[in-house]
Structure 1
Amino acid sequence: MLGIDAMKNNYEFKVKRSSKERFEVGCVGDECKWKLCASKLQQSSYFKVRKYVTMHSCSLDVINRHHRQASSSLIGQCIKSKYEGVSRVHRPRDIIEDMRKDMGVSISYVKAWRAKEHAMELVRGSPEESYSLLPSYFAMLEAKNPGTITHIETDENNCFLYCFMSLGPCIRGFRSAIRPVIAVDGTFLKGKYLGTLFVATCMDGNKQIYPLAFGVGESENDASWNWFLTKLRGAIGEIDDMVFISDRHESIRKALSTIFPNAHHGACIFHISQNIRHNFKHERAHKLYFTAAKAYRVPEFHRLMTEIYKVDYEVGDHLNSAGYEKWTRAYFDGKRYNIMTTKIAESLNAITKDARKLPITRFLEYLRMNILQKWFYERRTKAAKMNTHLTDWADKLVRENNKQGLSFQKLYG
């Protein structure tokens, strides 16, 4: 590219003629003989260089350190490889330094920022184009992955409101092999139009994250959670003894009570602990709370609650008002097993931290290829080599418990 060559070799040019048929440029020095002339080939979109005077006879005084060819679009072309990975961080200040070292050109912070935006658009596509590609992308997903369910919701002006994606293998695996405990959570997107990512995820038999469904909406409000959970119900259907774990967001509570009225809803014990730590700042009560939340037997739970009341009466009242049936293992009506927090959903949010900057279709493809496809392949390969009836995690746990049991003393009545 002529502009890049000009920066690298420390000369500047000006366009003397530019049309559909002819292109002529010359050096910015009026007395300099350097020039390039090209004309369009017949029945082709290509231009052929007809004349090129390579030597410069101008003074270095005509060269500006801010170089007229150093446009944000041209710099973006030069640096686009820096943004090919979603986790790559290349800031405007890095671009300024690169241009100074590699090209000997000084650029402003604003120009560097615009170059960064242009480079990212070259690599990842524009946000507007990404939204327009979403229907075609979903159609292809459903065609190539049997059982996949997708939805797009738009307003009366055909502007995007929500989307939902749950791949067929995820749905089939959930129905056949996964405990019916779903953690739901939302986290913000970082692209041009922002928005919120909604996730529904489970834990598999090897204590690993099992993504079930994803959604995108404007924010965590009543309408968004209602829409997402309605589409989730359409994907997985009605399942006996269903359990949902979430933070104490009121929109989630209202949506679950309407859309999954027969399911059990448990609160994430970590979010409650954060409230205790922030509002009461009593470390002893905080530790007792975790032990009480995980207690299996009701008498043991009440013994621990008595201790909490002795340490800090206000903490005890706060936990009582939260509802024992929501956060305790002893009083919970359903089967939440060892899933006491929304950590599996939050871990998935952490994994997608950098990818949440991508345009929407590129982001959903990242979820499909770099998370779902990769994890399913790795786990299937590992499972094929197993020689035990239980998963690695479960087998290790059973063996450790058996080892401890060997030292127990048997008591006779």
Structure 2
Amino acid sequence: MAGNNGVGDRPDWLPDGMDPNSSYNLEIRIVAHNCRTRWYELSKVVDADRTNFRSLVAEVVDKNPHGYGDLVKVFYYCMDTKVNIQVCTDQDLLEMFEKHKVSKCCFLTFAYHKPSVDPPIIPVWEFGSSDKSVDPPVTPSIASPILGEASNSTHAQYDEPEILANPNPIYEHVGVDDEGLYLDLGPNYPPPPPNPKAGNKGREAEISEDEICSESDESSDDESDEEMVTDRGPEPMPDVNYDKKNPPMDVGTLYSNMKAFKIALASHSAKHEYHYLVEKSDPGRYRMHCKFKEELDCQWRIHASTLKDGVTVKVKRNPHPHDCQSAKRVGVCVGITQEWVCSKVVDWLKEDGNIQIKELIRRLKNEYKVNVPYRRVYKGKNLAMDQIYGPWDKSFDNLFRFKAQIEESSPGSFVIIDHHTINNKIRFNRLFFALKACVDGFLRGCRPYLAVDSTFLNGRFRGQLCVACAVDGHNWMYPVAVGVIDSETNENWVWFMERLKEVIGSPDGLTFCTDCGQAVMNGVSEVFPEAEHRECMYHLVQNFKKRFSGKVFDDHLWAASYSWSPYLFNKHYIAMAQAKPEAMVYLHENHKKLWTRSQYRTGSKVDYVTNNLAESFNNWIKPEKGKNIDDLLDTIR
């Protein structure tokens, strides 16, 4: 246990620069049913003014991962009552700090356990024992799946044809809940105002450092040492603000670290069309000269190195201007690395995460006059996406935490993660997600109609996002369940439909509408054989017009689909059959599901002849499809 044996009233566990009034030492034990010892111990120093419950748990769990699907509960030992009290909110955390305001030392226990079993027994804290702590284990996290190959598109984009156009598109209108009545993405709270107290502390730290430096020459060694131990804060970072598009390379220019300097140098050279060669490069210095030093006698060179802090980089020599011919650079630059690409495209990707690689290459060419290889831009984009959304491979690990949080916050919800083992490593396979509130709303307040479709994910995981979407009393789309699969295969669609049946059962009058994809149609027919199965008229027409065309089909095909009575349907059908009998043979053989209103049952009370309901969901989620899977599911939630 850490004690208070520091200099004066300052405890020895308190790092320099932290406020002793608001800092607390946390002695933490981690217990679990499968622990090889009674517990694992670690220590952590936090600032009570800047620590919240969620971030504290995240930091501890990130360094000491739990098992798949485990829950995490936190307790602190109350010195007055001699019992362990559970911590669930920020208010509980503040109460814990208040109770230990004098000792500045709190004793926490993190309990890992499965949702189906009770937490492990919390051991009693015995002070003064000789038990030695055990270093926390480094447990491997879930292995991330390999980068999947892109699937062939089943939803090709077509311009609205002049022939066989839908004469009544307003009949297929689907309202999207723009008011967030059902798809509440959460309020956008304004950012918190700056903490004046924290700002004053920072300024006091800077002032105290200057005072210490000036007084240390006049005061005795003992007094100087005491001041440095008790009052000195961390050294302030130098001001390294500069124009990122045209960084200066004047002598005395500061950069935050060597990586930032290399990126700035590459931007500077690209902007002014220099081509340089690196003469010396190590963690503490960087020296380069013009590539045409021998050919054109160009004396331009730059030398930069780190300051005493070992991090900040300063340009120390740049004696000659660069005046040689720049045309020989021919659109290349030695400093254009994937890190440089990341720094330039990250702002573009924050605005639109779906920008394609070729578009990024074009923008870099227009902005910096450099030809960046496709592979390098691809890697730079991945680095930028990791900066924005977090590491891609860890997003699959987070799915189990997402599942545990959903099941705890919304009991009865379904988050089913299917995985397989490859070379003794767990790999993500597919996922099914349905909130209990959405399922109950569909069964109790919506018509028994589901539009089923999938859309491509355009992030690093090239899978497909499946959706089963209903329509509510306002004629707005009402998502019931979503899934993530690697491709549209019979096996994946049967698995998705089986999970959907476990969730909603088989309500009376249940009706499905799908496109013409064989995999999704087989999945619906195999799992829901008793349900009415409709086929999207738009997809039928797109396939039909590749083989047949003519005015007779323009006049009668869509009209046959919208016909309410068998008499009108037969009238339009016979007109097409007399003009081209082989066209009707094609419809009979290849489009056997229902595609005309005259054959619909009345139980669903929905007369859509297209699958616009699911397509509306696909269009709504389109800006988010480049996110990692955990962020995508959280957005849908």
What TM-score, normalized to structure 2? Answer: 0.49
Structure 1 segment 8-47 matched on structure 2, within 5 A: 17-18=282-283, 23-26=284-287, 28=289, 34-39=303-308, 47=310
CA spacing shift, 1:86–1:136, aligned 2, 3 Å: farther
Query: Which amino acid letter does the alignment assign opposite residue 91 of structure 1?
Result: L
Query: In the aligned structure 2, how far is the partner of 1:32 from the partner of 1:257?
Result: 72
Q: Partner residue of 1:127? A: 392
Structure 1: any 5+ residue segments left out of the alignment?
41-46, 101-105, 369-413
Of residues 593, 600, 605, the one that matches 1:332 is 600
1:61 and 1:258, CA in 2 relative to 1: closer, same or farther beyond 3 A?
Answer: same
Please show how residues 313-328 of structure 1 align to structure 2 within 5 Å.
313-321=581-589, 326-328=594-596
Report the CA distance between 1:63 and its aligned residue: 11
Partner Cα distance (2:302, 2:350) in 1: 40
The corresponding residue for 2:261 is: 2
| Matched residues, number | 352
Q: Is 1:137–2:402 an aligned residue pair? A: yes
Cα distance change, pair 250–97 in 1 and its aligned pair in 2 (3 A)? closer
Instruction: Give the stretch that moved more between structures: 239-248 or 275-284.
Output: 275-284
Give the match's secondary structure for 2:597: coil
Q: Give SS of 1:57's match.
A: coil
Q: Check 1:129–1:95 CA distance in 2 against 1; reply closer, same or farther (3 A cut).
A: farther
Amino acid at match of 2:502: G
Q: Which of 361, 371, 376 does residue 630 from structure 2 map onto?
A: 361
Identity of aligned residues (%): 23
Which position in structure 2 is the counterpart of 1:269?
537
Q: Establish whether residue 56 from structure 1 lines up as the match of residue 328 from structure 2.
A: no
- The CA deviation at 1:226 is 0.8
CA positional deviation for 1:73: 0.6
For 1:281, the equivalent position in structure 2 comes to 549
Q: Could you say what the CA RMSD is over the residues aligned between the two structures, in angstroms?
A: 3.3
Q: Tell me if 1:71 matches 2:330.
A: no
In structure 2, the residue matched to 1:226 is 494
Tell me which residue corresponds to 2:350.
84
SS of 2:318's partner is coil
Q: 1:283 to 1:362 in 2, by over 3 A?
A: farther
Counterpart residue type for residue 3 of structure 1: K
The residue aligned with 1:213 is: 481
After TM superposition, give the deviation of residue 232 of structure 1 in Å. Answer: 1.0
Give 1:169 shift. 3.0
The CA deviation at 1:6 is: 3.2
Task: Name stretches of at least 5 consecutive residues in structure 2 with no aligned partner.
Answer: 1-259, 291-298
2:262 is aligned with what amino acid?
G
How far 1:37 sits from its partner (Å)? 3.3
Q: 1:251 aligns with which of 499, 506, 519?
A: 519
What letter matches 2:631 in structure 1? R
Q: Distance in 2 between matches of 1:9 and 1:318?
A: 64
In the alignment, which residue of structure 1 is the partner of 2:373? 109
Q: 2:452 aligned with 1:184, yes or no?
A: yes
For 2:592 and 2:336, the matched residues in 1 are separated by 65
Deviation digits for residues 383-404 of structure 1, max 9, x if unmatched?
A: xxxxxxxxxxxxxxxxxxxxxx
- CA offsets, 1:348-386, max 9 Å, x none? 223333433333223323333xxxxxxxxxxxxxxxxxx
Q: How does 1:391-402 map to 2 (within 5 A)?
A: none
The Cα offsets for residues 304-328 of structure 1, whole Å up to 9 and x where unpaired, read as 3222323332233334456777222
Q: Report the CA distance between 1:191 and its aligned residue.
A: 3.0
Q: Please give the alpha-carbon distance, in whole angstroms, between the structure 1 residues aligned to 2:436 and 2:308.
A: 55
* Counterpart Cα distance in 2 of 1:53 and 1:286: 72
The question of whether the paired residues in 1 share the 8 Å contact of 2:353 and 2:626 is answered with no
| 3-state SS of paired residue (2:438) | helix
